[in-house]
A and B are shown apart, each in its own frame.
Chain A
């Protein structure tokens, strides 16, 4: 087993992994921005339907799954894959070399095949997101909740995940830490969950290139579909996102986890319970009663590991509580941990039949505490972590603020809609007829939808600022690198020519990037 230092000494060139991770992070931001803009647009045409053009591929039913797809697979998926690489590569570092721990993606030597696979995962995953998006807009959605891509794209996705697993385990082979960090456990569990859920839901008989018929039928298919919407949306990403949370809480803040024992306990409980999810989303449906009851019991149990995980993370951050004031990314991490607790609480409460009866009669079934609050928030923190330190700290701080306010507004709006509509839905008059008509029940959502429009607009604006900040930072970095290159060429080349013409092309001498730190804003 070669050490990281030896390994990097052999390859003192450009850090390849930096490129791949920068690409992932940049695409994550772009997909996220697209998705949030769509969300704002969908909210607008719900409030004022006459705004919507009467064009088939721009109608609500096609754009709504597209929005999910871009958020979960584009933003969440890209960040989870790049984050997985970061987790594995960190385990290669020696524990003592604290300096290196600052970089999200350290420079370590990888076999050429693994490097190629890494590039394949980037291109493959972007193809999955883009092709899936095109297919959904063209009307070839597979109509499986939160897994709408057609079978051919599902197949490509499977290949990409296999490649991700290969890269992850290859890097892990080189690790210098004997014991796997907690983030690693979660990523391994995440890979296994993807393997199970994605393959099960994608099993189908193809008819033509884009359409297929699912292998399973009726209640069984319904239950498999609801898995995807487990305790965290896009159930297959749930563990990946938790892995990223642990990775950043410990390695970015360089704090030891508050309690290893709690981490181990909550990990195994979550692993045990995650595949029981789904049944709470099918309460009082045609699913057999025993299956509903079992699912609900497990849903209630989920509360324990969920809260423990969240508390463990928050207690870890508490060691350096003041950093929350200086460092917007730590602040976002804390927000994500709290959102995680909220999402789990919500999911567990759904296991109570009386509350569940209110919820699923209404427009919003699950609040965006999980999708925006956890998946999207963790994905943007991961992207910031992977990229070089941002040029503008003010923009970063504004983004963090907008994201937190946006999440709060959306969650509040969703809960208001659910409780108002759910309580109206079941009120019966003395003669047994419903007291409120459907239009009256739907009309109630108008005010909360205005609030959620504000929340989504905050999110979209925040991501726009992020894209701006990232583009400018990367452009700066590029020109700095060019300048450094130019200087090197001039000093090593013949000295006969004066440096005058070269100085024109290079920007006024800037200091080369001091560190490749992964983003410490403290």
Chain B
């Protein structure tokens, strides 16, 4: 055993560590990046609208992913409650991926069909008025604050640079489109946009 050689040379040890570690990284990340499901954007997938993009920012700002997942897993308990499992294609534009790790509340990839927009607003304003015993915090400030539309163009342009197909006029119109809208509207637009229209129709009672 010539391990002594490594133990005597910090540089050699460092190099070999880096090499060994990159094995795992390369073997997983490179094929995943080059995988057909990720190599090119699905054609029927629309990127988030300006309003929904602002909604995603609010979702991130309030840390919703701490308690909610946005990933219906291919398991009986998940599909029985939330319909079909989420696919990698649906999540192609996720930056960052807000799939979540823990479930202290429901999965949010598809808002439940039995509750309408008005219910969602009442619930976010005071969760315990709709679901007694719910542990969710109330978010009254989402109703009071309005979007300024300031950062949205820069955000869309950055996404465009990364390959998200936003049209030029879409970006130019974005600040005016969202300005003055209540934050709650943007958040709900994000959560609703996440569900493909065909899927919502099929789950209507």
Decide: A426 and B76 in contact? CB cutoff 8 A.
yes
Decide: B66 and A439 in contact? CB cutoff 8 A.
no
Chain B residue at smallest Cβ distance from A205:
B158
Which of the candidate stretches B114-122, B136-144, B171-179, B187-195 sits at the interface with the other chain? B136-144
Known contacts A60-B66, A286-B71, A434-B77; is A264 also within 8 Å of B162 by CB?
A: no
- Tell me the residues in window 16-61 of chain A with beta carbons closer than 8 Å to chain B beta carbons: 45-47, 49-50, 52, 54, 56, 59-61
A contact patch SS? helix
Asked if A522 lies at the interface with its beta carbon under 8 angstroms from chain B, I say: no
Known contacts A179-B4, A364-B102; is A218 also within 8 Å of B24 by CB?
A: no
Interface membership of chain A positions 232-275, coded 1 if the CB is closer than 8 angstroms to chain B and 0 otherwise: 00000000000000000000000000000100100010011111
Asked if B205 lies at the interface with its beta carbon under 8 angstroms from chain A, I say: no
Chain B residue at smallest Cβ distance from A60:
B137
How many residues of A are counted as interface, with CB atoms below 8 angstroms from the partner's CB atoms?
96
B80 contacts across to A, CB distance below 8 A: 428, 432-434
Known contacts A54-B140, A196-B22, A219-B38; is A213 also within 8 Å of B10 by CB?
A: no
B99 contacts across to A, CB distance below 8 A: 222, 282, 285-286
Chain A residue at smallest Cβ distance from B26:
A275
Q: How far is the CB of A363 from chain B (nearest CB, A)?
A: 5
Contact residue among A178, A222, A281 (Cβ-Cβ distance under 8 Å from B97): A222
Decide: A360 and B63 in contact? CB cutoff 8 A.
no
User: CA of A205 to CA of B60 in the docked complex: distance in angstroms?
Assistant: 17
Decide: B66 and A65 in contact? CB cutoff 8 A.
yes
Contact residue among B35, B75, B127 (Cβ-Cβ distance under 8 Å from A361): B75
B66 contacts across to A, CB distance below 8 A: 60-61, 64-65
B97 contacts across to A, CB distance below 8 A: 217-219, 221-222, 225
Decide: A213 and B159 in contact? CB cutoff 8 A.
yes
Decide: A218 and B65 in contact? CB cutoff 8 A.
no
Give 23 CB contacts A-B under 8 Å: A54-B141, A59-B137, A61-B64, A64-B66, A141-B63, A179-B7, A185-B7, A193-B21, A196-B21, A196-B25, A216-B33, A225-B97, A272-B21, A284-B85, A288-B32, A288-B37, A290-B31, A294-B27, A298-B24, A361-B77, A365-B101, A434-B77, A438-B106
- Residues of A with Cβ closer than 8 Å to B? 45-47, 49-50, 52, 54, 56, 59-62, 64-65, 139-145, 169, 172, 178-180, 184-185, 188-189, 191-193, 195-196, 200, 205, 207-208, 211, 213-225, 229, 261, 264, 268, 271-276, 279, 281-288, 290-291, 294-295, 298, 357, 360-366, 425-428, 432-434, 438-439, 442-443
